[in-house]
Chains A and B, each alone.
Chain A
């Protein structure tokens, strides 16, 4: 039953070639899947959101900031990094679970707006504003990871 080298030579090569073709086909199939379109970051309808909606989101996030920071400060009163990390968790939960669903937009779009809001330091009125009236901290507490 054990194939001899001469009798098995051609089928073995053929099988190896088929295996290679199969691998190439599977890999090619995965590689051919198109990525989602990139984010529109300029223009009046950037991030797929109107100016009014963008202002509304800035206001919503700004209003929530003190409350979310308060949660972290109470939970991690002696650990500033963890307290801030908790705040970021609330921002993430709100954007990923609520805003993206409500606005029917990919979360990436809302995050791009969030970046713009913080970079321009929009105030709680939802308008780009001066530093004095700005919501959103533009700095972070330096990283201090857990040790247990």
Chain B
């Protein structure tokens, strides 16, 4: 049931539809124009954000990373602007690297983020189109699938919730396409690993596990189909899982420099979630199919692809089209996962029982995938209708006119559901961007008491916010203070003087003149990756002279300390994580391996007679 249907030979009467599908330039223009119209409220006001708390949270991380990249020219390994200092690449929730950061570096922090959103929406539509074509939809059907998925309700809801970092969900069809094509040609697994790496490096905390689960499920389902069906035209039964394994291995190789620090921080500061989120199947169906007036994480329409899409999908099912059952199976599985319940098929509790996935939450997000398969199913439904129109017209008019009439009729049928979804999302986006993004000032860094509810204000003002929120209980030194006259100071002020010479997130230079050995302290959390060219870096555990005692007797506990000998020194304190450097080396090797495999594959093709 699940063989892909590459549309290679069709009736010439489907020519209008196919001409559209084959003209990449025309299709891309459509995506660009639609995305520009759809995101107009976001694109025309890049210096305004939404009011949801996560806007401030994610913008804080983005700003910190942007400062590292563009102001200081440093890879953002460490984030001094939050909680007294956090791992940046090692924070699963952070966005220090990825397409968005690249665009922010090129076009400015806020415009860059909006341009990234725009590109992800375009990629989502093209990905939806390509997957629908792969599954056998004709041109107009595939275009409708692309529109329905790329503009679907969840992507609009992400803007409401302040989570456009999760727009990398738009890459889902690309990952799936590469997996499914990889069953027959290994090179697609190579491309798929690039897609997954991009997804992981972007807003990895949520899309990566969910898309990985989807890919795993699809590979297992396909294996089952191949084993049960025993069709000689099918690939070997082990190919789906082997393709997935190759994709996973290459993705890991490409992203090890992020995965190792993230794993380290998750082990040291586990992200624990005991909450149980469950929704009735009716609730999930309303999220995917019903246009609701209210906003909210799980409100009606929050994953909208619409009733029109459902109707078109049901046309394909009622016509017993052989392209539909695979999509139906995946839709039902994703709807079940989105409920988070043990009733029904009960897949989500099974997922939660697996290692690593035990802290998975917000199952409603599987509604994105349910919506995607319905969108592709709608594309198949449109193709079925188109085929029937062509069959009916063939006997009644000249081929050319029949093709044009069939094309026009299909466009009319396809436009209604796509317009429903696009208009719904466009209207919702009008009310999002009402809070001014923080204004910037570059000045000497120091810690501030800050305020996590407006977390993005502080890095923009070159201040660290001690008041902070993270999903992981990251370490915060008890000795952090927002009122120190100097951020770098001696534990024994009588021992000499210390003066900052220069500061950047990963390199602090301090001039010290000491009468006797003492310890220099930095008003940031200690981390093993801090090193110094003079003396040795330690985690300060003692009291700080002449400071009021706050918590217990070890007020300075956890700050960065450097034990220094007497004398005059210029100390260069640097943050450099050897695991990140190791991971980057592995990524380069993996890229080299992938390039070599691709080159060899092309050479083999050329050598064939």
- Asked whether B114 lies within 8 Å of A140 as measured between CB atoms, the reply is no
Q: Give the residues from 304 to 332 in chain B that come closer than 8 angstroms, CB to CB, to chain A.
A: none
Closest CB of chain B to A62's CB: distance in Å?
A: 13
A53 is an interface residue with CB less than 8 A from chain B: no
- Asked whether B480 lies within 8 Å of A139 as measured between CB atoms, the reply is yes
Number of B residues whose C-beta is below 8 Å from A? Answer: 74
Chain A residues closer than 8 Å to B468, beta-carbon distance:
140, 143
Q: How far is the CA of A18 from the CA of B481 in the complex (A)?
A: 56
A43 is an interface residue with CB less than 8 A from chain B: no
Chain A residues closer than 8 Å to B476, beta-carbon distance:
140, 142-143
Point out the residue from B275, B449, B461, B472 that lies within 8 Å of A140, measured CB to CB.
B449
- Asked whether A84 lies within 8 Å of B467 as measured between CB atoms, the reply is yes
Contact A143 to B19, CB < 8 A, known contacts A26-B36, A38-B439, A108-B457:
no
Q: How far is the CA of A120 from the CA of B29 in the complex (A)?
A: 56
Q: How far is the CA of A108 from the CA of B470 in the complex (A)?
A: 22
- Asked whether B467 lies within 8 Å of A1 as measured between CB atoms, the reply is no
Residue in A13, A30, A36 with the greatest tally of chain B CB atoms within 10 Å: A30
Closest CB of chain A to B452's CB: distance in Å?
A: 6
Q: Give A104-144 as 1s and 0s: 1 = Cβ < 8 Å from B's Cβ atoms.
A: 00111101101100111100000000010000111110111
Q: Give A20-36 as 1s and 0s: 1 = Cβ < 8 Å from B's Cβ atoms.
A: 00110011011101011
A63 is an interface residue with CB less than 8 A from chain B: no
B441 is an interface residue with CB less than 8 A from chain A: yes
A41 is an interface residue with CB less than 8 A from chain B: yes
Q: How far is the CA of A118 from the CA of B112 in the complex (A)?
A: 33
A103 is an interface residue with CB less than 8 A from chain B: no
- Asked whether B448 lies within 8 Å of A131 as measured between CB atoms, the reply is no
A50 is an interface residue with CB less than 8 A from chain B: no
Q: Which of B20-28, B69-77, B198-206 has 4 or more CB atoms under 8 Å from chain A?
A: B20-28
Residue in B112, B450, B458 with the greatest tally of chain A CB atoms within 10 Å: B450
B102 is an interface residue with CB less than 8 A from chain A: no
Closest CB of chain B to A45's CB: distance in Å?
A: 15
Closest CB of chain B to A96's CB: distance in Å?
A: 7
B47 is an interface residue with CB less than 8 A from chain A: yes
Closest CB of chain B to A138's CB: distance in Å?
A: 4
Point out the residue from A14, A18, A29, A139 that lies within 8 Å of B482, measured CB to CB.
A139
Point out the residue from A19, A27, A31, A111 that lies within 8 Å of B25, measured CB to CB.
A19
Nearest to A117 among chain B residues (CB) is: B449
Chain B residues closer than 8 Å to A148, beta-carbon distance:
273-275
- Asked whether A35 lies within 8 Å of B461 as measured between CB atoms, the reply is no
Point out the residue from B29, B275, B449 that lies within 8 Å of A15, measured CB to CB.
B29
A92 is an interface residue with CB less than 8 A from chain B: yes
Q: How far is the CA of A25 from the CA of B469 in the complex (A)?
A: 39
- Asked whether A112 lies within 8 Å of B452 as measured between CB atoms, the reply is no
- Asked whether A22 lies within 8 Å of B111 as measured between CB atoms, the reply is no
Q: Give the residues from 444 to 479 in chain B that come closer than 8 angstroms, CB to CB, to chain A.
A: 446, 448-454, 457-458, 460-461, 463, 466-476, 478
Nearest to A2 among chain B residues (CB) is: B15
Chain B residues closer than 8 Å to A142, beta-carbon distance:
475-476, 478
Q: How far is the CA of A119 from the CA of B449 in the complex (A)?
A: 8
Nearest to B477 among chain A residues (CB) is: A142
B267 is an interface residue with CB less than 8 A from chain A: no
- Asked whether B466 lies within 8 Å of A139 as measured between CB atoms, the reply is yes
B183 is an interface residue with CB less than 8 A from chain A: no
- Asked whether A12 lies within 8 Å of B24 as measured between CB atoms, the reply is yes
A147 is an interface residue with CB less than 8 A from chain B: yes
Contact A92 to B25, CB < 8 A, known contacts A1-B403, A22-B33, A119-B448:
no
Q: How far is the CA of A112 from the CA of B438 in the complex (A)?
A: 11
Q: How far is the CA of A101 from the CA of B28 in the complex (A)?
A: 44
- Asked whether A138 lies within 8 Å of B481 as measured between CB atoms, the reply is yes
Point out the residue from B12, B44, B47, B457 that lies within 8 Å of A107, measured CB to CB.
B457
- Asked whether A31 lies within 8 Å of B461 as measured between CB atoms, the reply is no
Chain A residues closer than 8 Å to B475, beta-carbon distance:
142
- Asked whether A115 lies within 8 Å of B480 as measured between CB atoms, the reply is no
B483 is an interface residue with CB less than 8 A from chain A: yes
- Asked whether A139 lies within 8 Å of B83 as measured between CB atoms, the reply is no
Nearest to A142 among chain B residues (CB) is: B476
Chain A residues closer than 8 Å to B111, beta-carbon distance:
30-31, 33
- Asked whether B472 lies within 8 Å of A145 as measured between CB atoms, the reply is yes
- Asked whether B12 lies within 8 Å of A1 as measured between CB atoms, the reply is yes
Point out the residue from A2, A35, A107, A138 that lies within 8 Å of B454, measured CB to CB.
A107
B364 is an interface residue with CB less than 8 A from chain A: no
Residue in A11, A35, A137 with the greatest tally of chain B CB atoms within 10 Å: A35
Point out the residue from A15, A85, A106 that lies within 8 Å of B452, measured CB to CB.
A85
B369 is an interface residue with CB less than 8 A from chain A: no
- Asked whether A1 lies within 8 Å of B16 as measured between CB atoms, the reply is yes
- Asked whether B449 lies within 8 Å of A22 as measured between CB atoms, the reply is no
Chain A residues closer than 8 Å to B232, beta-carbon distance:
none
Point out the residue from B18, B24, B118, B481 that lies within 8 Å of A26, measured CB to CB.
B118
Chain A residues closer than 8 Å to B480, beta-carbon distance:
139-140
Nearest to A1 among chain B residues (CB) is: B15
B272 is an interface residue with CB less than 8 A from chain A: yes
B599 is an interface residue with CB less than 8 A from chain A: no
Nearest to B439 among chain A residues (CB) is: A108
Chain B residues closer than 8 Å to A35, beta-carbon distance:
47, 108, 110, 440
Nearest to B483 among chain A residues (CB) is: A138
Q: Give the residues from 262 to 294 in chain B that come closer than 8 angstroms, CB to CB, to chain A.
A: 272-275
- Asked whether B469 lies within 8 Å of A85 as measured between CB atoms, the reply is yes
Chain B residues closer than 8 Å to A85, beta-carbon distance:
452, 467, 469
Contact A88 to B19, CB < 8 A, known contacts A33-B46, A41-B443:
no
Chain A residues closer than 8 Å to B114, beta-carbon distance:
30
- Asked whether B274 lies within 8 Å of A88 as measured between CB atoms, the reply is no
Chain B residues closer than 8 Å to A119, beta-carbon distance:
446, 448, 482-483
B115 is an interface residue with CB less than 8 A from chain A: yes
Q: Give the residues from 4 to 45 in chain B that come closer than 8 angstroms, CB to CB, to chain A.
A: 12-13, 15-16, 18-19, 22-26, 28-29, 32-33, 36, 43-44
Nearest to B10 among chain A residues (CB) is: A2
Q: Give B469-499 as 1s and 0s: 1 = Cβ < 8 Å from A's Cβ atoms.
A: 1111111101011110000000000000000
Q: How far is the CA of A18 from the CA of B24 in the complex (A)?
A: 11
Chain A residues closer than 8 Å to B446, beta-carbon distance:
119
B356 is an interface residue with CB less than 8 A from chain A: no
Contact A115 to B461, CB < 8 A, known contacts A12-B23, A18-B25, A19-B28:
yes
- Asked whether B107 lies within 8 Å of A115 as measured between CB atoms, the reply is no
Chain B residues closer than 8 Å to A131, beta-carbon distance:
548
Q: 8 A-B contacts, Cβ less than 8 Å apart?
A: A8-B22, A19-B29, A38-B442, A111-B451, A115-B450, A118-B483, A138-B481, A145-B473
The 5 closest A-B pairs by CB, nearest first: A1-B15, A15-B25, A148-B275, A16-B25, A138-B483
Having A33-B46, A84-B467, one finds 8 other A-B pairs with CB under 8 Å, namely A26-B43, A30-B115, A88-B467, A92-B454, A106-B439, A111-B454, A115-B463, A119-B482
